[in-house]
Amino acid sequence: MPLVYCGACSHAPGMTGRAERADTQTRQALEGAFRRMGDDIRATRPDALVVIAAEHFANFFMNNMPAFAIGMADSYEGPIEDEAFLRIRRTTVPGNKALSRRLIEKVMQTVDVAYAEEWKFDHGISVPLHFLTPDYDLPIVPANINCQGPPLAPLARAWAFGEALRNAADSVPERIALIGTGGLSHWPATPDSGKINQEWDREFLRRWSANDREALLSYTDAETYREAGQGGFEIRTFIAAAAAAKGARGTIDFCEPVPIFAVSCTLASFKLPGI
């Protein structure tokens, strides 16, 4: 069944953990945008949601760091973070091990992906799910791109991973929705937390909306680090989602810089043909 939904969103832990410290109007607009995205996903009647995240040392460390990984379990626990810090109650989220396995086998045709039968969600997945599927009633297939511990996979490989996920989703009878989660420019968890390069974000989203492969892959990590901070390495998740959209054009549904959340909070989606 062809992919039924493809989008991307922010996963900043401040969106839940420091929610009340943002301007009320902006916060309400952001939560409204998340509700709309959740409704749009549900409207496509998905059997599972693939979440391509940039995890933050919940599962993988520099002793054995996969460039790409996909979860293969019937359930996942999360968030791993202190509940008082993230303000999301720890819970069990359904997965689908058999479906994961079929997707992984297909992805492996072109990308050497690691698989994990144990996976703890961190804010990279738990924050989006808190807003998008608050009842945790949709099976999740977690996928990860290493955006934390250099050396990082080149952007072209993140694109290849997105393409492979799309081909895998299209090959199974289930209805698969997919989102990438991550930040654009940001300097999280440093004294610069809150710094945002709006101009850089706008240009990235212009390239993303146009689904311009060449322009998206032309960033170097040195340039991203200089202009968009170490958090900018997470564009890999947005790029993988763009590849999964297979040429479809994107729409930016919400994008507002919120310094206390440390990013331009962004929700965006692709118009998939026939959906």
Partner 1 sequence: MSLYQVQKLIYQLNRDPRTRQRYADERDTVLADYDLTHEEIGALQRPDIGLLYVLGVNGQLLMHFAALHRIEWTDYLERMREGLRQHGPVREGVYAVTGYEGVEAHEARLRAERETR
Tell me which residues touch partner 1 (CB under 8 A). Answer: 14, 17-18, 23, 56-59, 61-63, 80-82, 84-85, 120, 148-150, 187-196, 225, 229-230, 257, 259-260
Of residues 61 and 210, the one with the C-beta less far from partner 1:
61
Q: Does residue 216 contact residue 205 with C-beta atoms inside 8 Å? A: no
Contact yes or no for 229/182 (Cβ under 8 A): no
250 strand-pairing partners: 270
| Residue 217 half-sphere exposure toward CB, CA atoms < 13 A | 16
Question: What SS3 state is found at 228?
Answer: helix
Minimal distance, residue 253 CB to partner 1, in Å: 19
Spatial distance between the Cα atoms of 12 and 257, rounded to a whole number of angstroms: 12
Nearer to partner 1, 7 or 14 (CB): 14
Least distance in angstroms from the C-beta of 81 to partner 1: 6
Q: How far is the CB of 52 from partner 1 (least distance, A)?
A: 17
21 vs 271, beta carbon nearer partner 1: 21
How far apart are CB 46 and partner 1 at their closest, in Å?
A: 29
Specify the residue, 169 or 262, whose C-beta has the smaller distance to partner 1.
Answer: 262
Spatial separation of the C-alpha atoms in residues 105 and 111, rounded to whole Å? 10
Residue 229: CB minimum distance to partner 1, A: 7
Rank residues 186 and 246 by Cβ distance to partner 1 and give the closer one. Answer: 186
For partner 1, the closer of residues 18 and 102 by Cβ is 18
C-alpha to C-alpha distance for 213 and 156, rounded to whole angstroms: 9
Are residues 123 and 79 in contact, defined by beta-carbon separation less than 8 angstroms? Answer: yes
Rounded distance between C-alpha atoms, residue 89 and residue 155, angstroms: 34
Q: Which residues of 125-141 are buried (b: 16+ CB within 10 A; e: fewer)?
A: bbbbbbbbbeebebbbb
Q: Tell me the closest approach of the beta carbon of residue 2 to partner 1, in angstroms.
A: 35
| Angstrom distance (rounded) from CA 31 to CA 21 | 14
